[in-house]
Structure 1
Amino acid sequence: MRFDGWIAGMGTSSGTRIVLGHWQRSPFGAFSDVMLERADGDRLLLAPTRETADFISGTYIFDTARVVPVEVSVTHDAWTVTAGPLDLRFTTGRRGLLGFSLRTVPGALARRPAWSALTDRPARLLLPGVRTRGSAGQGRREWYGARDLLPIRAVSAAYGGADLGAMAPVEPPVRFGFGSAPRNPSATRVTTTVELGPE
């Protein structure tokens, strides 16, 4: 199963870390989802349908999964996200050398698990906590093929009306799956491939 889109990861000074998945193409059509980990370690999934919530919960680990409307608007460098109780806005900056390098990766190559396996060690060295392949829930395997990287420069987030604080690193790393988002808040264009395990 293949998902093409963006993953944006950011921390807040309250200790809540947020990972947005914004998928233009997927087996479920276009959709977005949000994963949050609070300072106390509680992990929450906000997904737009029961089908996507069940699939994501079967691939990653959460304490709670909620089905809520998830809306994402992108205008130039400004992202606006509404996901049930979460209101999130963030702004991306100019890509650096790594972003320019990733933009040269052809889409057909990014979709190949062998490419993700090859880039796993360099990714770990350049971006501690990040992995491009690993084991997921229910015997599934997963590969990430990155094609762009943009720094996030500003974040405004509130949950249930409570301000989550200023932008901060994704620290400690999130614990939804086998790897974390980069420590420095960023948005990554990615092709994610999930191989289903035995029924």
Structure 2
Amino acid sequence: MSQPARSRFRGAIAGVGTSSGVRIVIGCWSSSPYGGFADAMVETALGHRVLLAPSPEVAEFVASTYSFDEVRVEPISVVAGPTAWTVRSDSLELVLALGAPTALGRLLRVVPARVAEAPWWCAVTDPVARVALRGVRTRGSAGNGRREHYGATGVRRLSAAAGAFDGTDLGVLATVDPPPRFGFSSTPRRPSVTQVVTTVVPS
């Protein structure tokens, strides 16, 4: 499938740290140029970066945007309920318990969606995000001649996590530290789920 000049991915991103040292970023996208889908980026305690993508087309786009040591194409699903996310694929099983909105999440609620999702607003919030949330960027180079703009509209804490990657238990929820090395931006250090609209444009 060809990639349009301007693409929007609407959904949510979960950033998860575990006591095993494995850090995971899960995307649950309700709409995108590839339809609705889920994907996961996993970095092991030894620094091995793995992409789990549901189709060759999604794998090609994501792998040419971020950096991985291994790409796996396999069915992956996210059931996103009001109190929990359940993630399943051949490689990953994960249940995430959702907590309350963060202070930032409550603040984002007062920003009109059309403003929060606009690339120009991402340029305004980027300097603030760099200071307030270590490793987080709201715009930057996505590689392969692309730039990304992250427009967040809400943030909720994660209160618990349990699961396994490649059959090995992940342990309990922990901070996302060190930040995973997939691209120009990381998730917040504190595990959370962010409602987001990602706009990808040519650089």
Cα offset for 1:78? 1.0
List gaps (5 residues or longer) in structure 1.
Answer: none
TM-score by length of 1: 0.96
Find 2:145's aligned residue among 116, 139, 142. 139
Match of 1:122 in 2: 128
Within 5 A, what are the aligned runs for 1:26-37? 26-37=32-43
Q: Give the CA deviation at 1:106.
A: 2.2
What is aligned with 1:90? 96
- Equivalent residue letter for 2:46: D
List 4+ stretches of structure 1 deviating above 6 A. Answer: none
Please report the RMSD computed on the Cα atoms of aligned residues, expressed in angstroms.
Answer: 1.0
8 Å CA contact 2:137, 2:184 repeated in 1 = yes
Q: Secondary structure at the match of 2:185?
A: coil
What code does the residue aligned with 1:37 have?
E
Paired with 1:188 and 1:88, the residues of 2 have a C-alpha distance of 17
* Correspondence for 1:55 among 43, 50, 61: 61
| Match of residue 190, structure 1, among 190, 193, 196 | 196
Are 1:158 and 2:164 an aligned pair? yes
Matched residue SS, 2:101: coil
Structure 1 residue 157: deviation in Å? 1.8
Tell me the secondary structure at the aligned position of residue 33 of structure 2: coil
Question: Identity percentage over the alignment?
Answer: 52
What CA distance in whole angstroms lies between the structure 2 residues aligned with 1:25 and 1:106? 20
Aligned equivalents of 1:105 and 1:192: distance in 2?
A: 17
8 Å contact kept, 1:4–1:192: yes
Post-superposition shift, 1:84? 1.8
Q: Structure 2: where are the runs of 5+ without partners?
A: 1-6
**Which of 33, 38, 47 is matched with 1:41 structurally?**
47
